[in-house]
Amino acid sequence: MRPLLTQLLGGAVLAGACAGIFAAEHEAVLRPFNLPPSADLHYTLKARQKGLALSGEAQVNWRAGDGKYSLVNETKAQMLGKILDSRSEGIVDTYGIAPSQFVEKRFRKEATTATFDRGAKSLSFSAGKETYPLRGGEQDRLSAQWQLAALARAQPEKFVAGSEWRLFVAGRKDAQLWSFKVLKREKIATGLGEVDAVHLSKAPPPGDKDQTVDLWLAPGHDWYPVQLRYSDEEGEFIEQTVDKISKK
């Protein structure tokens, strides 16, 4: 397993984490959604890697309106500076967020692009040869958490312990099925004070040594993602927690 910090420097972490490759086949599921209001969110970042404590920050700019959306993410780590620039943009269709392009610029790497060609109904990648059919509801690693927020805003009564939410998600060079399960509702400490949040978790498939991804959505703050945590079986982790939300 690659160390979590290595993956952070690779830029894959704050935009999402792999859950193992499932079959390319995926279903289009129409579900009610209600996009969160446009906002800028600032997060503090902390991590533990081989006994070392690290810190940093992330800024996410979310915009939605007139049938379109855009997401911009910038992450900085202590002593390293900017380690990730990513953006997702597209339209809003009957399935919710519908990306047209996802661009990720990793630390000291060339930018990569995932293209959602709605006309050809095809998903392709600048960094890989894989292609997938677009059936509806597909996301990228930046938009996935916001699609979950939109689903939760439309049907909060269904985001209860034990419920499961699946999304087909594009990364740098392929796409995978992500399965989030709602664990419980709990209080978390943030820069905004104590926040009531719904805790979702995406565990790796049985026998897979990939990361566990935990996501906290805050009903009292328009279901914005207020905390994310990426951890592995060796006890290393990367966690980002919101400390400021500015609605636009």
Specify the pLDDT at position 49: 66
Residue among 23, 24, 4 nearest 14 (CA): 4
Specify the pLDDT at position 205: 61
DSSP state of 10: T
Q: How confident is the model at residue 53 (pLDDT cuts 50, 70, 90)?
A: confident
91 pLDDT more than 90: yes
Q: How confident is the model at residue 176 (pLDDT cuts 50, 70, 90)?
A: confident
- What is the residue extent of each domain of the chain? 4-247
Pairing of β 175-190 and β 112-117:
unpaired
Tens digits of residue pLDDT in 138-161: 999 999 999 999 999 999 999 999
What mean pLDDT is reported for the chain? 87
193 pLDDT more than 80: yes
Q: What is the CA radius of gyration of the chain?
A: 17
3-state secondary structure 37-53: CCEEEEEEEEEEECCEE
Q: Phi, psi at residue 153, to the nearest 5°?
A: -65, -30
Task: Please report the sign of the dihedral spanned by the C-alpha atoms of residue 26, residue 30, residue 32, residue 35.
Answer: positive
pTM for this entry: 0.88
Greatest Cα pair distance, the chain, in angstroms, is: 49
